């Protein structure tokens, strides 16, 4: 199957395209699609103190287009060793941009959670990806504000504290 390319006012068919021949929004080199990648990654739990083990079903996928990385993933609690404090989801496939956006220039992206289950208290519904990191900081948002998830929020029975998420960040 041939791909089509629009150039000027004509439409032509080409047998192969290299990333630099695909241009979006103009014909200059700044408009060339120079980077596209798809792959998988394995999310792991991070915690301020001690450690948390995820179950074997934890998984993630990503698509990187230029400087934007789109992610989706699943992680669930398996066990812990003296865990306490703020929790993160580690192992993003790329380090986020070194200088982000927002009031403090520290935001690089974020995630939403569309399935969370079996937490001991409110389950995370979003997450932040800060500049120059490879992790997600899960948050609970309610009428009192936004709170970082801590290990004390985990349900600790087998296969508890499930976090299914999707989002994006800049690199």
| Alpha helices (H) in the chain, listed in sequence order | none
Segment 90-138, tens digit of pLDDT: 999 999 998 877 666 678 888 988 766 667 677 788 899 999 999 999 9
Same domain, residue pair 84 and 127 = yes
Instruction: Give the pLDDT band of residue 150 (cuts 50, 70, 90).
Output: confident
Same domain, residue pair 83 and 136 = yes
Same domain, residue pair 75 and 144 = yes
Q: Which of 67, 74, 7, 84 is nearest to 33 (CA)?
A: 67
Q: In degrees, to the nearest 5, what angle opens at C-alpha 35 toward C-alphas 73 and 89?
A: 25
Q: Which domain holds residue 20?
A: 3-34
- The tokens for 110 are 């974020």
Helix (H) and strand (E) counts for the chain? 0, 12
Same domain, residue pair 28 and 59 = no
Question: Is the confidence at residue 9, as pLDDT, over 60?
Answer: no
Average pLDDT along the chain? 82
Same domain, residue pair 111 and 133 = yes
Q: By percentage, how much of the chain surpasses pLDDT 90? A: 41
Same domain, residue pair 146 and 166 = yes
Contact 88, 137 (CB under 8 A): yes
Strands, E assignment, 8-118: 10-14, 36-41, 44-54, 59-65, 68-75, 77-90, 107-117
Same domain, residue pair 166 and 110 = yes
DSSP codes of every residue in 96-129: PPSS-BTTTT-EEEEEEEEEEE--SSPPP-EEEE
Same domain, residue pair 25 and 49 = no
What is the tally of structural domains in the chain? 2
Same domain, residue pair 71 and 113 = yes
pTM of the model: 0.79
Same domain, residue pair 15 and 51 = no
Instruction: Give the pLDDT band of residue 49 (cuts 50, 70, 90).
Output: very high
Same domain, residue pair 84 and 14 = no
Contact 55, 78 (CB under 8 A): yes
Question: Is the confidence at residue 69, as pLDDT, over 80?
Answer: yes
Same domain, residue pair 76 and 154 = yes
Contact 75, 160 (CB under 8 A): no
**Backbone phi, psi, residue 30, to 5°:** -65, -20
Q: In degrees, to the nearest 5, what angle opens at C-alpha 28 toward C-alphas 25 and 33?
A: 65
Reduced to 3 states, what is the DSSP secondary structure of residue 37? strand
């Amino acid at each position: 199957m041939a791909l089509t390319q629009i150039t000027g006012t004509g439409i032509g068919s080409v047998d192969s395209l290299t990333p630099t021949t695909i241009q979006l929004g103009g014909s200059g080199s700044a408009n060339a699609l120079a980077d596209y990648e798809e792959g998988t990654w394995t999310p792991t739990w991070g915690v301020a103190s001690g450690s948390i083990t995820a179950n074997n079903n934890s998984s993630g996928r990503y698509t990187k287009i230029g400087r934007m990385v789109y992610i989706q993933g699943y992680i669930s609690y398996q066990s812990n060793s003296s865990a306490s404090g703020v929790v993160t989801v580690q192992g993003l496939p790329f380090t986020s941009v070194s200088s982000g956006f927002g009031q403090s220039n520290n935001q690089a992206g974020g995630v939403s959670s569309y399935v969370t289950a079996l937490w001991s208290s409110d389950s995370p519904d979003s997450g932040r990806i800060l500049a120059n990191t490879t992790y997600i900081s899960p948050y609970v948002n309610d009428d009192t504000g936004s709170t970082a998830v801590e290990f004390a929020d985990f349900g600790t029975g087998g296969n508890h504290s499930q976090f299914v998420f999707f989002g994006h960040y800049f690199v």
